[in-house]
């Protein structure tokens, strides 16, 4: 009987994914789902042919250089690659794969959940009921903002941005966007292109951040850019926490410059900026963008598909390095 490849699985994944990994590989599982630090990853990877990791494990150059020589591939259970030094991985000859495409709809759904929850003051309403503080319907109680006929600005019109636009059209919103390059007309579907982010911000009554985290987008939404938004605008972020200057956003929420915000991602998560907890006009979620069973299964199966290809001597379908 042929020896199965040895794969370190760094986090507890959905049952169907774990079952496939156990059937296909000699899988070293993290059943307790404790988060591994760099030294633990290096230690547990001894004798492994590959690592199936998550964004919670960091692979800077100094960690990659210490991985056992036996490790040939790193399959990350994510689309984002910020936790991996890709240049160092390439220099080491390590294959890196990710999980594109399968997160699109679930993340766009969360974007719209945040848009609606922030606009309609869902946190305040739910808290009122949970604290038994509701004394009945009133004509001016928790008045929010209607989405229909409003301008939605989308920063980053990739797959997720376009999926958000599709949902917004169902609410009769006017779609505006900025992207690194203008989309073909068949993908724009009537959306209005802005050559600069600043031009987009000036018209965005709602702003959805769907751009990747890069040195250029770090703290993109700062005081100066918030000032460009229309008064009473609503901001949502399901991309990366690093896109937002937390202090600037909180100042704008307190002053009334912004009516509300909806956030699913945070800089330094899970240690979010404590100021958000005391604000009534921010709706916050713990990074739930891809958190459906169907999506997480699909992500795990993509990881396995990529590793299967590596071990068969074939090109992985989602190779990035």
Q: What is the largest CA-CA distance in the chain?
A: 74
What the block records as the tokens of 12 is 């507890």
Residue 128, burial from CB neighbour count under 10 angstroms (0-12, 13-18, 19+): middle
Order of strands, sheet of 151-155, starting from the edge strand that comes earlier in the sequence: 192-193, 174-178, 151-155, 206-209, 233-237, 258-263, 282-284
**C-alpha R_g of the chain:** 22
Instruction: DSSP letter for 314, please.
Output: S
Choose among 283, 249, 231, 257: nearest CA to 120: 283
Q: Which of 269, 277, 294, 319 is catalytic?
A: 269
289: which residues sit within 8 A by CB, 6+ positions away? 103, 106, 107, 110, 111, 238, 264, 265
**How far is residue 92 from each of residues 5, 66, 67, measured CA to CA in Å?**
20, 10, 10
Active-site residue, 169 included: no
175-179 long-range CB contacts below 8 Å, 24 or more apart? 176/151, 176/152, 176/200, 176/203, 176/204, 177/153, 178/153, 178/154
Decide: 278 and 151 in contact? Cβ < 8 Å: no
Q: Does residue 270 have a cis bond before it (omega within 30 degrees)?
A: yes
Active-site residue, 83 included: no
Decide: 162 and 193 in contact? Cβ < 8 Å: no
What the block records as the tokens of 151 is 């301008």
Q: Which of 121, 162, 240, 296 is catalytic?
A: 240
- Residue 114 CA to residue 123 CA, distance in Å, equals 11
Instruction: DSSP letter for 290, please.
Output: T
Q: Which of 83, 92, 167, 287 is catalytic?
A: 287
Active-site residue, 92 included: no
Residues designated as active site: 240, 269, 287
């Amino acid at each position: 009987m042929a020896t199965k490849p040895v794969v370190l699985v760094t986090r507890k994944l959905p049952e169907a994914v774990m079952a496939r990994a156990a059937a296909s590989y000699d899988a070293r599982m993290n059943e307790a789902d404790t988060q591994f630090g760099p030294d633990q990853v290096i230690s547990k990877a001894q004798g492994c042919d590959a690592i199936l990791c998550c964004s919670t494990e960091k692979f800077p150059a100094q960690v990659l250089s210490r991985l056992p020589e036996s490790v040939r591939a790193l399959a990350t259970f994510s689309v984002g690659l910020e936790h991996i030094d890709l240049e160092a991985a390439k220099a080491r000859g390590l294959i890196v794969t990710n999980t594109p495409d399968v997160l699109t709809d679930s993340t766009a759904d969360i974007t719209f959940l945040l848009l609606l929850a922030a606009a309609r003051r869902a946190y305040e309403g739910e808290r009122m009921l949970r604290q038994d503080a509701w004394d009945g319907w009133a004509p001016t109680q928790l008045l929010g903002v209607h989405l229909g006929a409003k301008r939605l600005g989308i920063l980053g019109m990739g797959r997720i941005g376009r999926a958000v636009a599709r949902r917004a059209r169902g609410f009769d919103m006017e779609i505006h966007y900025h992207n690194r390059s203008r989309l073909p007309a068949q993908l724009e579907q009537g959306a209005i292109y802005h050559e600069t982010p600043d031009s987009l911000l000036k018209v965005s009554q709602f702003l959805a951040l769907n751009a990747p985290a890069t040195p250029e987008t770090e703290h993109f939404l700062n005081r100066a850019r918030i000032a460009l938004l229309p008064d009473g605008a609503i901001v949502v972020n399901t991309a990366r926490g690093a896109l937002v200057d937390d202090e600037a956003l909180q100042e704008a929420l307190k002053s009334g410059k912004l009516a509300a915000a909806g956030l699913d991602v945070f800089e330094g998560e899970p240690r979010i900026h404590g100021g958000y907890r005391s604000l009534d006009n921010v709706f916050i979620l713990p990074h739930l963008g891809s958190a459906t069973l169907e999506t997480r299964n699909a992500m795990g199966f993509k990881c396995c598909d990529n590793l299967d290809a590596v071990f068969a001597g074939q090109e992985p379908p989602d190779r990035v390095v």
